[in-house]
Structure 1
Amino acid sequence: MERRNWKHLMMLFMLVAAISMVAVGCGSNTNNAGAPATGNAAGDAPAASDAPAEAAALTLGLLPSIDAIPFIIAHEQGFDKEHNVNLEIQTFKSAKDRDVAFQAGKVDGISADLVAISIYNEAGLDVKITSTTTGEFDLLTGNDGVQEVKDLKGKTVILSKNTSTQYTVAMMLKQAGLTEEDIKVTEVPQIPTRLELLKNQKADAAVLPEPYVTMGKAAGLRVLSSTKTAGINPFVLAFPQSVIDAKGQAIQDMYAAYDEAVAYMKSHDQSEYIDLIIKEVGYPDTLKDQITVPEYLPANQVDVKEVEAAFAWAREKGLLTKNIPAEEVISDVQFKK
C-alpha cells in the first residue's frame, strides 16, 4: 500500500513538473494575448531583466538664479539621461511661489535657503539638505548717499521676509555695526519687482540674485555687499525624507550629472552655453557680453556651522521654536556623515 502511494506521489510530481516545463516553454514563445515573441528562434534575444532600467524622473523647483545653471546644463546636454535620471526643471519667480508648489507635491526637490529649511522642519515637514548650491545675493543701491552698508541706517531696504534674503541683510548689517531695527524694510517677494522698484528710486537698497544683479549694474546700480564678500552661504538643495527614501538612487544620479555639467563648463568656452543661460535664467540678450558665470565646484555638503548660524537667527525671529540640531536636517544620501 505504501509502495503504491509512493508511486502515485512520484507520478503526480512528474506530471506537475512536465506541466510547468510546458508552461515555461509557452511563456517564452508568446507575449500577452498569444502574440508571438519578438526574440529570434535561436533564443539569443536579451532577457527582459537585461534591458536598461527606465530613467527615474526627478522634478526640481528652482529660482531664476545662477545656482540653477548646472542643473539646466546637465539636462540640456543629456548628462542626466546618461546617468539614468530625467531631470524635470520648473523655475519660479519667487521663493513663495516655489514653496506653494513644493508643499503641493508638484516638485520633488528645491533650491532653498537655510531659513526655509528651519521653517519647513518647524512646521513638521521632514525636509533634508542634500547639498549646497552655488548662489549669491548682492545688496544693491542707487542712492548716491549710500556708499557703504553702514550708510543704510534709517534707509529703506527691499527684501523677502522670513527667508535668507532677510537673514543675509541681518548678517551684513551686523558686520557694519548695525541691526535690523536700524533700517526700514519693504517686503517684495517677486525678484523682478525688487529690481524695478530700486531702479525707480522707490527704495534705498535691495537684495537681489543673478541675473538681476548684472541687470541692476547695467542700469547704474552699485553693489554694497554680497554673500560672497560677507562670508555667508545659505544656498542649498533639499528634498523631503520621503523622496530621499523613494528616489535615493535618482538623487545620487542627479549629482553625477551635476558634476559632469560642472566639468563641461570648465572645459568649454562660455560662448558655447551662454545662450542657454540667457534663455533659462532670464538674462537680457543685450547683456550677453556682461555675464560672468561663476567658478562652479562639484557638489558638496553644507557646513554644519552655516546651518547653526541660520537656525540661531530663525530662533531669534520666532520662526524656529523646536530644538532641531543642525545635523538632523543634513542628509547623507549623497555625502556620508
Structure 2
Amino acid sequence: MKRSISILIISMLLLGLAGCASNKQESSGQKQVQLQNINLGLMPDVDSIPFIIAQEKGYFKEEGLTVTLKHFKSAMERDSALQSGNLDGAVSDMLAEAFAKAGGFDTVITSLTTGSYKLVVNKDEKAASIQDLKGKDVAISKNTIIDYVTDKVVTEGGLTSADINKVVIPQIPARLEMLQNGKIAAATLPDPLATIAVKNGAKVIKTSEQLGLNPGVLLFTTKAVKEKEKEIQAMYRAYSKAVDYLSREPMDNYIDLLIEKGGFPKDVKGVLVLPQYKKAAAPQQKDVDDVVAWLQARQLIQKKYLYTDLVDTRFVR
C-alpha cells in the first residue's frame, strides 16, 4: 500500500514538473515571436539622428527588431524607393505625404520628426534680410519641405515667392556646394548641412524654428502599417530610448558615430547644434491644414485632404 502511494506521489510530481516546463516553453515562445524587418529611408538631416542612435546603440535589437537604414541625398530618390516597395517608411514631410495620396500611392504619417531648416546666404553676399534677396537666386528642391519653408520665410519677410529666383537643386550636398562656391546667392538647407555653410562663412537669414514650423514627419506605407503594426510599435519604443540618450549624453560621445554611420560631413564636429528632440507625437491639425492649403494654392494637388486622410495616430499619443 505504502509503495503504491509513493509511486502515485512521484507520478504527480513528475507531471507537475512536466507542466511547468511546458508553460515555460510556451512563455518563452511567446516572448520570442519573430518580428519582421523594417526598411527605413533617411535623409542627411538632423531628423534622422535618433534612428541612427537607436541602430548603433542597440535599441532596435533590445526590442527584438531588425531595422535596415537606407540613406538618400534627395527627396526624389527617397520617394522613388518608397513607391517601388524598397522601403516600409521614411523620414519625410507633410508635402510628400499629400503628393503620395494625390498620386494614388497609399502612405500615412505616423508621427512628427524633429528637424531644422535655415535660409542662408553665401559668405560674399551682402544681403542681411529677406528684402535684400529680391531678384536673387535662392537654391531649393522644388515642391518639397524646403520649398515650403522658403516660401514661409520669404512671406514673413515681406516678399512674395515670385520676388526671388528659385533655382532647383534637388540633391542637398550639391546645393551646399553651389552656395559655398558662390554660384548662388542663398539656399535653404536642413541641418547639419546648414551648420556647415555657417561654419564656412554663410549667414543665416531665418530658420524654421523662428517661424514655429515643423513639417517634418515619419511616414509609412499603409501596407506596412497593416502588416507590421507590432514592428512599428517596437521601432517607436526604440526611438524613445534614442531621444532619452540624446537628451542626457554630450555630443562628443556620439558625433564620430554620426559622421561614420550617418554620412554627416566631418566639418560638423565641434559646431553642430542639435534641436531638442521630443518623443514621437502626432502633428497638429493646423500644421497639416497649412501645408494642404499651400499645395492647393499652387495647384499642386486638387483635393483638400482632411487630417484623417493623411495622419494615422495609432502609434503615438
On whether the aligned pair clears a TM of 0.5, the verdict is yes
Partner of 1:205: 186
- 1:162 aligned to 2:143? yes
Partner of 1:131: 111
Partner of 2:25: 47
Identity of aligned residues (%): 36
- The CA RMSD measured in Å over matched residues stands at 1.9
Runs of 4+ deviating beyond 6 Å: none
Give, in whole Å, the separation in 2 of the partners of 1:215 and 1:271. Answer: 17
- 1:240 aligned to 2:218? no
Indicate which of 183, 188, 191 corresponds to 2:169. Answer: 188
Partner of 2:310: 329
Letter in 2 for 1:322: K
Unaligned ranges ≥5, structure 1: 1-40
Partner of 1:297: 278
Alpha-carbon contact 2:91-2:113 (below 8 Å) kept: yes
Indicate which of 42, 47, 66 corresponds to 1:62. Answer: 42
Unaligned ranges ≥5, structure 2: 1-17
Give, in whole Å, the separation in 1 of the partners of 2:173 and 2:220. Answer: 26
Partner of 1:269: 250
Find the structure with the greater CA-based Rg.
1
Q: How far is 1:48 from its partner?
A: 6.0
Letter in 1 for 2:69: I
SS in 2 for 1:71: helix
Give, in whole Å, the separation in 2 of the partners of 1:117 and 1:299. Answer: 18
Q: How far is 1:327 from its partner?
A: 2.5
SS in 1 for 2:91: strand
Give, in whole Å, the separation in 2 of the partners of 1:293 and 1:112. Answer: 18
Number of matched pairs: 297
Letter in 1 for 2:284: D
Partner of 2:58: 78
Give, in whole Å, the separation in 2 of the partners of 1:154 and 1:43. Answer: 78
Q: How far is 1:126 from its partner?
A: 2.0
Letter in 2 for 1:328: D
Q: How far is 1:82 from its partner?
A: 1.2
Alpha-carbon contact 1:131-1:301 (below 8 Å) kept: yes
Give, in whole Å, the separation in 1 of the partners of 2:155 and 2:270. Answer: 35
Partner of 1:24: none
Give, in whole Å, the separation in 2 of the partners of 1:113 and 1:240. Answer: 14
